[in-house]
């Protein structure tokens, strides 16, 4: 199995690379569209800003290549911004269009608050129940707001808080986490392992 | 963010010539060991985050030690904030792509607030931590690097927030390393106005000090001396806070 990590010229690249490497894999950093063709599972890291990231992916023909990758039903893990770009519209530094897999907008918190720290997630999917009530590390100033109540079914975990923070999204061969599994110590490693062994639709 | 946010216990470490060091009131630095072994231990003790500042880079205003950062990143699954001497977008990029999850910037923002917008545009606000070193001055506090002595720290924090800083670490220089306890009253004033998470550092020398912080909603606490030169470790600290019924991750 070949694991790719998409480099969009921002992101916490070494953090995610090292976390996969420590689990006993040899991930490849993907910088050009051709490199994506031989990859079986793709990780799209976080720590970036929406507009800059999407502009970069589109300008370098990586956006369309990720769409092809997704359509081939190969598994993708999007972390933080890597999740958010699979929404319809993003509003960080102006409006930009995401992959539109989830009918949601990515907006800032009310009063421009920021969510940084460890929080327990509540899982509503039996396939992922081992992570129920476990603490993961969050670090984000934007979050998903569903436009369509029907798409809420893809939300498999949330934070129990005054604002509803979608924390885990699963749709077809895509998994998106608002938290950072690569920075969530033992429980985060278990989550990444589960993704690396995951077969969609099973 | 509500009550569900867990308390963060954040070891705050200083790097100098590839070693960790610990001082008092920003002077008299002593060797505090190897960064890799120390950080690996903190990771396994479930430190909530780690802050590492390159002291030599901070003093000389040069770029911090990326080689050591890379080595640390290889072993660390805890969120890491790294900085010291960072004054431009290139240095920030190197830090964030070579093993840190947030960049720590101190002095540079006083003269160059545009840098905040530049970093936020590429990496997002959540990746920027601004550091403020506060010193006592006429019954209140001023920023130690502010030679004019005129900037009100609370107004300054608002300006940093407006520009797009994601988090702020306050260090009380006069009590830093003193083990006399946290500056509670001024911290409460800051928290009453702040929109972004604030991390407080300085003076924590025993477990009671941590309790006092948590009782006053000072929930993001950086510690140095308490773990560097004592028998306490993160496990004991969190166990204590848990027994006192505060919400910690254990």
**Per-residue pLDDT tens over the stretch A7-64:** 999 999 999 999 999 999 999 999 999 999 999 999 999 999 999 999 999 999 999 9
pLDDT (0 to 100) of residue A122: 95
Under 8 Å between Cβ of A73 and A36: no
Q: Is residue A27 part of a domain?
A: yes
Both tokens of A8, joined, read: 């969009």
> Looking at the predicted structure, is the pLDDT value of residue B101 above 90?
yes
Annotated catalytic sites of A, by residue?
A: 80, 180, 182
Band (B78; pLDDT cuts 50, 70, 90): very high
The residue that leads in pLDDT, B66 or A110, is B66
Q: What is the pLDDT of residue B24?
A: 77
- Local confidence band at B152 (pLDDT 50, 70, 90 cut-offs): very high
Banded model confidence at residue B25, pLDDT cuts 50, 70, 90 = confident
User: Coil, helix or strand for B61?
Assistant: coil
To the nearest whole number, what is the mean pLDDT of chain B? 93
| pLDDT at B40 (0 to 100) | 95
Using the predicted structure, report yes or no on whether residue B231 has a pLDDT greater than 80: no
Distance CA B239, CA B242 (A): 5
Please state, for a pLDDT cut of 90, what percent of chain A lies above it: 95
Supply the pLDDT for residue B146: 86
pLDDT of residue B4: 63
Average pLDDT of span B111-129: 96
What's the CA gap between B228 and B207, in Å, rounded? 14
Distance of alpha carbon B115 from the chain centroid: 19
Q: Quick one: pLDDT at residue A91?
A: 98
pLDDT in tens, B82-94: 999 999 999 999 9
- Does A13 fall in a domain? yes
Dihedral angle computed from the Cα positions of residues B209, B235, B25 and B134, in that order, rounded to the nearest 10 degrees: -70
Judged by DSSP in three states, B170 sits in strand
- CATH, residue A103: 3.40.50.880
Domain count for chain A: 1
Contact assessment for residue A73 and residue A173, using Cβ atoms and an 8 Å cutoff: yes
Residue A161: pLDDT over 80 = no
User: Across the interface, which of A112, A114, A183 has its CB nearest the CB of B77?
Assistant: A183
Q: Which residue of A has its CA nearest to B43?
A: A185
The DSSP-derived string for chain A is --EEEE--SSS-HHHHHHHHHHTT---EEE-SGGGGGG-SEEEE--SS-HHHHHHHHHHTTHHHHHHHHHHTT--EEEETHHHHTTEEEE-TTS-EE---SEEEEEEEPGGG--EEEEEEEEE--GGGGGGTT-EEEEEESEEEEESSGGGGGGEEEEE-SSS-EEEEEEETTEEEESS-GGGSHHHHHHHHHHHHT--TT-
Quick one: what percent of chain A has pLDDT higher than 70? Answer: 100
pLDDT of residue B1: 41
What's the pLDDT at B51? 97
CA–CA separation, B171 and B225 (whole Å): 13
A202 in a domain, yes or no?
Answer: no
Q: Is residue A77 part of a domain?
A: yes
- Interface probe for B, chosen from A118, A134, A142, A182 (most Cβ of B below 10 Å), is A118
Q: What is the mean pLDDT of residues A100-127?
A: 95
Pick from B134, B100, B129: which is nearest to B203 by CA?
B134
The answer, for A118 touching chain B at a CB cutoff of 8 Å, is yes
Confidence check: pLDDT of B120 > 90 = yes
Residue A108 lies in a domain: yes
Cβ atoms < 10 Å from Cβ of A64: 11
A-B C-beta contacts closer than 8 Å: 129
Count other C-beta atoms under 10 Å from residue B46's C-beta: 18
Q: Which H/E stretch holds residue B172?
A: strand B167-172
Of the listed ranges B45-54, B105-114, B186-195, the least confidently predicted one is B105-114
Smallest CA–CA distance, residue A176 to chain B, in Å, is 18
Mean pLDDT is highest, among A159-163, B107-111, B202-206, for: B202-206
Handedness of CA A192, A194, A198, A200 (dihedral sign): negative
pLDDT at B204 over 90: yes
pLDDT at site A160: 76
First to last CA, chain B: 21
Listed by start position, the domains of chain B span 8-243
**pLDDT at position B3:** 40
Q: What is the mean pLDDT of residues B214-235?
A: 89
Contact criterion met (CB below 8 Å) for A106 and A140: no
Which two structure tokens, joined as six digits, stand for B61? 């205003």
Q: Determine the average pLDDT of the residues in A124-147.
A: 97
Domain that holds residue A158: 3-196
ipTM, two decimals: 0.95
Cβ contact B167:B129 at 8 Å: yes
Q: Which residue of A has its CA nearest to B92?
A: A10
DSSP state of B88: S
Mean pLDDT, residues B181-210: 96
| Other beta carbons within 10 Å of A68 | 12
Q: Is residue A201 part of a domain?
A: no
Return the CATH fold of B8-243.
TIM Barrel (3.20.20)
Token output for A110: 């009310």
Is A90 part of a structural domain of the chain? yes
Q: Are A60 and A16 in contact (CB under 8 A)?
A: no
Query: In chain B, which residues touch A (CB < 8 A)?
Result: 1-2, 4-6, 8, 43, 46, 48-49, 70, 73-80, 93, 96-102, 120-127, 161, 166-167, 195-197, 220, 249
């Amino acid at each position: 199995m070949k694991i790719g990590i998409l480099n969009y010229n921002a992101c916490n690249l070494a953090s995610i690379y090292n976390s996969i490497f420590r689990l006993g894999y040899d991930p490849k950093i993907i910088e050009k569209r051709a490199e994506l063709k031989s990859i079986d599972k793709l990780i799209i890291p976080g720590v970036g800003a929406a507009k800059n990231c999407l502009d970069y992916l589109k300008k370098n023909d990586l956006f369309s290549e990720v769409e092809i990758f997704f359509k081939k039903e190969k598994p993708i893990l999007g972390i933080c911004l890597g999740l958010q770009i699979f929404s319809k519209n993003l509003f960080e530094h102006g409006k930009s269009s995401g992959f539109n897999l989830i009918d949601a907008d990515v907006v800032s918190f009310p009063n421009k608050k920021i969510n940084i720290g460890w929080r327990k997630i509540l899982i509503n999917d039996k396939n992922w129940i081992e992570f129920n009530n476990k603490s993961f590390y969050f670090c984000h100033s934007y979050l998903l707001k569903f436009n369509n109540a029907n798409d809420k079914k893809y939300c498999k975990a949330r934070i129990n808080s005054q604002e509803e923070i979608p924390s885990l999204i699963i749709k077809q061969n895509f998994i998106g986490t608002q938290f950072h599994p690569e920075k969530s110590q033992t429980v985060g490693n278990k989550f990444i392992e589960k993704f690396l062994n995951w077969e969609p639709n099973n | 963010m509500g009550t569900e946010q867990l308390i963060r216990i954040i070891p705050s470490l200083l790097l100098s010539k590839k070693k960790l060091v610990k001082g008092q009131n920003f002077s008299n630095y002593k060797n505090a060991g190897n960064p890799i072994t120390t950080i690996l231990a903190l990771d396994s003790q479930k430190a909530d985050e780690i802050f590492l500042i390159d002291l030599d880079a901070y003093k000389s205003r040069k770029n911090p030690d990326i080689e050591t950062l890379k080595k640390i990143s290889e072993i660390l699954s805890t969120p890491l904030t790294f900085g010291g001497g960072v004054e431009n977008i290139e240095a920030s990029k190197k830090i964030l792509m070579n093993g840190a999850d947030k960049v720590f910037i101190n002095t540079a923002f006083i003269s160059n607030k545009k840098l905040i917008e530049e970093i936020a545009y590429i990496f997002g606000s959540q990746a920027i931590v601004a550091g403020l070193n506060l010193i006592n001055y006429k019954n209140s506090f001023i920023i130690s690097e502010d030679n004019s002595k005129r900037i009100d720290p609370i107004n300054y924090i608002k300006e940093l927030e407006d520009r797009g800083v994601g988090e702020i670490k306050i260090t009380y220089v006069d009590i830093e390393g003193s083990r006399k306890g946290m500056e509670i009253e001024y911290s409460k004033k800051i928290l009453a106005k702040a929109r972004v998470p604030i991390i407080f550092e300085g003076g924590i020398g025993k477990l009671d000090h941590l309790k006092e912080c948590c009782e006053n909603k000072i929930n993001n606490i950086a510690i140095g001396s308490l773990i560097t030169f004592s028998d306490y470790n993160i496990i004991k600290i969190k166990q204590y806070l848990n027994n006192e019924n505060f919400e910690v991750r254990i």
